[in-house]
Amino acid sequence: MTKLLFREDAYLRAAKGRVTAITTEGGIVLDQTIFYPTSGGQPGDSGALSWGGGGGMEIATAIKGEDDTVVLVPAEPVALPAVGQEVTQTITWDRRHRLMRVHTALHLLSVVIPLPVSGGAIAADKGRIDFDMPEAPEDKEALEETLNKLIACNFAVSDEWITDADLDANPALVKTMSVQPPRGSGQIRLVRIGVGENTADLQPCGGTHVANTMEIGPVRIGKIEKKGKQNRRVYLHLADL
C-alpha cells in the first residue's frame, strides 16, 4: 500500500519517499507519494524524481497499481532508482493547482445544475460534466452568473469520512448515475464545500481540491452538447487561461 500524502495535504509540492518496487513495465512504486493517480476523471500528476549521486527522471503521470499502490510512470526510458533508494518527489505544481481549481468548480456546477450526473472529465484548463438533461438550459448566461456567485462566496473546502453503512443510509449524497464510490476499505471520503448550514455541496470524491472556492477564480460555461436522448455535456473553462 502506498501512503497517499496528497490526501492529507493537497498543497504538498515536494516530499521524500522510498522505492518499494519497480513494476515489469518500469513504473516506480514509493512507500508514500504526493502524486495523484489517474482516477475519477482527474488525470494523474506529472513531475520529477531525484536521488543521491545525481540521479533523476521526469514523471509523465501516475496511475493506480495493484494492492492499493500508486505507480509513477517515467516520461522516457532512463536509469531507474534501486528498490530501497530514498528519492525526492516533486509535482508540476501549476498544473496540479489548475486541476484542483477545475475539479472544485465542477462540484459547484453540479449544484447550479441539480441533475443526475452520467459522466465527467477534468483537464488543467477546463472540465465537463454529462448530465441526465433531456432539454438544454434556456439561459446559459444565468447559469454562469450563478456559478461565479457561488465561487465568490468564499466557501471553505474540506473532507470527512463516513462508513459504507452511512452512505447506504444517505444515497442522495451520490450524484453520479453510473459510477459508485469505491467500497471495501470501510470508509468513504466526502468533500464538503461550505460549513454546517452554509454547506453548498457534499458528495463522495477522492480527488484533490482547493482549500477555498475563491482560489478557483472566475469561470465560464462553454459548449452544451447533446450526447444521446437524455444527456447533455456541459463544458466549464477557467476564465484566466
- Average pLDDT per consecutive 10 residues, the chain (241 residues; last block may be shorter): 96 98 96 96 97 95 95 95 97 98 98 93 96 90 97 97 88 75 76 95 95 98 91 94 70
Count of the separate structural domains present in the chain: 2
- The torsion angles phi and psi of 120, rounded to 5 degrees, stand at -175, 165
User: Looking at residue 184, what is its pLDDT?
Assistant: 59
108, three cell numbers: 459547484
User: Looking at residue 66, what is its pLDDT?
Assistant: 92
User: Looking at residue 183, what is its pLDDT?
Assistant: 58
87 and 100 within one domain:
no
Query: Is residue 238 within 8 Å of residue 125, measured between CB atoms?
Result: yes
* 183, burial (CB in 10 Å: exposed 0-12, middle 13-18, buried 19+): exposed
User: Looking at residue 180, what is its pLDDT?
Assistant: 66
Query: Is residue 107 within 8 Å of residue 114, measured between CB atoms?
Result: no
- Report the DSSP pairing between strands 47-51 and 55-64: antiparallel
Residue that finishes a domain, picked among 91, 108, 124: 91
The residues pairing with 129 across neighbouring beta strands, listed in sequence order, are 120, 234
What CATH number did the domain enclosing 159 receive? 3.30.980.10
182 and 109 within one domain:
yes
Full residue range of the structural domain in which residue 52 is found? 3-91
158 and 63 within one domain:
no
User: Looking at residue 164, what is its pLDDT?
Assistant: 85
Q: What is the rounded CA–CA span in Å between residue 74 and residue 17? A: 16
Q: What is the rounded CA–CA span in Å between residue 148 and residue 219? A: 7
106 and 44 within one domain:
no
User: Looking at residue 204, what is its pLDDT?
Assistant: 93
User: Looking at residue 175, what is its pLDDT?
Assistant: 82
User: Looking at residue 207, what is its pLDDT?
Assistant: 95
30 and 122 within one domain:
no
127 and 233 within one domain:
yes
- Across 23-110, the runs of DSSP E, i.e. the strands, are 28-30, 32-33, 47-51, 55-64, 70-74, 86-91
What CATH number did the domain enclosing 17 receive? 2.40.30.130
User: Looking at residue 179, what is its pLDDT?
Assistant: 62
155 and 187 within one domain:
yes
Q: What is the rounded CA–CA span in Å between residue 178 and residue 21? A: 34
102 and 18 within one domain:
no
Q: Output the pTM of the full model.
A: 0.94
111 and 30 within one domain:
no
Tallying the residues shown for the chain, one arrives at 241
Residue that finishes a domain, picked among 68, 91, 114: 91
